[in-house]
């Protein structure tokens, strides 16, 4: 069996595959040449992340392909249903990067609550001339402890966000399409485990009206989850972080509500017009911005590689 990890794979994942007698090709093939490469090299497994697109034309043109794997959660760059209809195995790693994404959520929350994103922009430019003025302008900061954290989505990432919120002493609320109850376990360094039973709500207004910090952790949606009606339900001075997908929050409307003061600050790791975010977003001082870094940690990539390898090895036994 041959595997093309076109968007890369961790050393741990590569080692696991090789130990199972599976050949791995670590080439990086341009999108226009992927089909030819797969056919010329008799590739059985195509592994991608977000860069390589796996559409119907590729699936039809590569009859020897048996498995398509996505290193991450979202599958919007793969025509999943069509591939399944054609008899291919589709695998992904929904939980491997959950902790990394959740930590980025809170990195942004801390940054927004303490004006770190803006201070880091201004200190190199004005730190030597306007030090005291900046100190004064950034003094309306907040602690997260005791505040209400609203988490939209209760999958692997949402659960990790909830865990971190609880560990910081925040009040936690979860919004899902249908109410669901899950047990959240916090494991500590000394072996102790504390369990919390969290039940989500599907009452959007009740969820939004008292949330101080809101994290969006949903799959890609066909329409906005957060738009004008939802912004109007929020309390004044709310902070919002989107590490889900571009298109779940209306970016234009977001800027309007930042301008009005309804939203104190927001963070975007994903964008509607990715990878070319609108300049008006990039220049807004009330936005904390990252270039889709959610799962981009060494730890997450190691987990992703190992999870993919384990799934491929299991499928190989069935073929």
In the predicted model, is pLDDT for residue 319 greater than 90? no
- Which helix (H) or strand (E) segment holds residue 314: the answer is helix 298-318
Q: Which tokens hold the place of 219?
A: 């799959």
Look at 4-8, 38-42, 69-73, 123-127 and tell me which has the smallest mean pLDDT.
Answer: 69-73
* pTM (predicted TM-score): 0.89
pLDDT band, residue 240 (cuts 50/70/90)? very high
Class of domain 2-92+298-318: alpha beta
Q: Catalytic annotation on 245?
A: yes
2-92+298-318 and 98-289 in the same fold: yes
Can you tell me the mean pLDDT for 101-128? 96
Residue owning tokens 């990067």:
97
Q: Catalytic annotation on 130?
A: no
The domain limits of the chain are 2-92+298-318, 98-289
Catalytic-labelled residue, pool 23, 103, 272, 274:
274
CB 163 within 8 A of CB 183: no
Percentage of the chain surpassing pLDDT 90? 93
DSSP 96-135: TTHHHHHHHHHHHHHHHHTTHHHHHHHHHHHTTTSHHHHH
CB 162 within 8 A of CB 175: no
Q: Mean pLDDT, the chain, as a whole number?
A: 96
Q: What are the residues facing 143 on neighbouring strands?
A: none
| Angle 194-198-199 from CA coordinates, rounded to 5° | 165
From first CA to last CA, the distance across the chain in angstroms is 10
Distance (Å, whole) CA 238 – CA 229:
15
Can you tell me the mean pLDDT for 269-296? 95
Percentage of the chain surpassing pLDDT 70? 100
Distance (Å, whole) CA 163 – CA 176:
17
Q: Positive or negative CA dihedral for 241, 244, 250, 252? A: positive
In the predicted model, is pLDDT for residue 123 greater than 90? yes
Q: Positive or negative CA dihedral for 38, 41, 47, 48? A: negative
Can you tell me the mean pLDDT for 220-230? 95
Q: Catalytic annotation on 121?
A: no
Q: Which tokens hold the place of 137?
A: 């302008």
In the predicted model, is pLDDT for residue 289 greater than 90? yes
Can you tell me the mean pLDDT for 65-73? 93
Burial class (CB in 10 A: 0-12, 13-18, 19+), 310: middle
Class of domain 98-289: alpha beta
Q: Which tokens hold the place of 169?
A: 């002493």
In the predicted model, is pLDDT for residue 317 greater than 90? yes
> Which pLDDT score is estimated for 72?
85
> Which pLDDT score is estimated for 73?
80
Nearest to 106 by CA among 265, 241, 255: 241
Can you tell me the mean pLDDT for 111-133? 96
In the predicted model, is pLDDT for residue 314 greater than 90? yes
CB 53 within 8 A of CB 77: yes
Catalytic-labelled residue, pool 49, 108, 117, 245:
245
Distance (Å, whole) CA 48 – CA 78:
9
In the predicted model, is pLDDT for residue 74 greater than 90? no
Catalytic-labelled residue, pool 23, 292, 302, 310:
292
pLDDT band, residue 76 (cuts 50/70/90)? confident
pLDDT band, residue 89 (cuts 50/70/90)? very high
Can you tell me the mean pLDDT for 211-225? 95
pLDDT in tens, 154-171: 999 999 999 999 999 999
> Which pLDDT score is estimated for 101?
96
Can you tell me the mean pLDDT for 13-23? 96
């Amino acid at each position: 069996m041959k595997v093309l990890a076109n968007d890369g794979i961790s050393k741990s994942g590569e080692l696991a595959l090789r130990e199972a007698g599976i050949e791995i090709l670590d080439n990086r093939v341009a999108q226009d040449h992927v089909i030819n490469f797969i056919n010329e090299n008799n590739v059985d497994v195509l592994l991608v992340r977000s860069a390589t697109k796996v559409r119907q034309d590729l699936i039809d043109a590569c009859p020897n392909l048996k498995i398509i794997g996505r290193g991450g959660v979202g599958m919007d760059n793969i025509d999943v249903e069509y591939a399944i209809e054609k008899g291919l195995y589709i695998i992904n790693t929904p939980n491997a990067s959950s902790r990394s994404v959740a930590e980025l959520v809170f990195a942004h929350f801390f940054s927004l609550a303490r004006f770190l994103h803006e201070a880091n922009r201004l200190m190199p430019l004005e730190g030597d001339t306007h030090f005291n003025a900046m100190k004064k302008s950034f003094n309306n900061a907040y602690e997260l402890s005791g505040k209400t954290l609203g988490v939209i989505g209760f999958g692997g990432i949402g659960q990790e966000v909830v865990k971190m919120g609880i560990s910081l002493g925040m009040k936690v609320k979860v919004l899902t399409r249908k109410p669901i109850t899950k047990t959240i376990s916090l494991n500590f360094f000394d072996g102790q485990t504390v369990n919390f039973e969290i039940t989500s709500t599907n009452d959007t207004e009740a969820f939004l009206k008292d949330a101080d910090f809101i994290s969006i952790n949903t799959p890609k949606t066909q329409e906005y989850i957060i738009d004008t009606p939802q912004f109007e339900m929020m309390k004044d001075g709310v902070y919002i972080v989107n590490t889900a997908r571009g298109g779940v929050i209306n970016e234009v409307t977001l800027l309007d509500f930042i301008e009005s003061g309804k939203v104190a600050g927001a963070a975007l790791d994903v964008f509607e017009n990715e990878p070319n975010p609108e300049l008006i977003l990039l220049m807004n001082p009330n936005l904390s911005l990252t270039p889709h870094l959610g799962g981009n940690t060494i730890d997450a990539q190691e987990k992703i590689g190992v999870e993919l390898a384990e799934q491929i090895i299991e499928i190989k036994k069935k073929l």
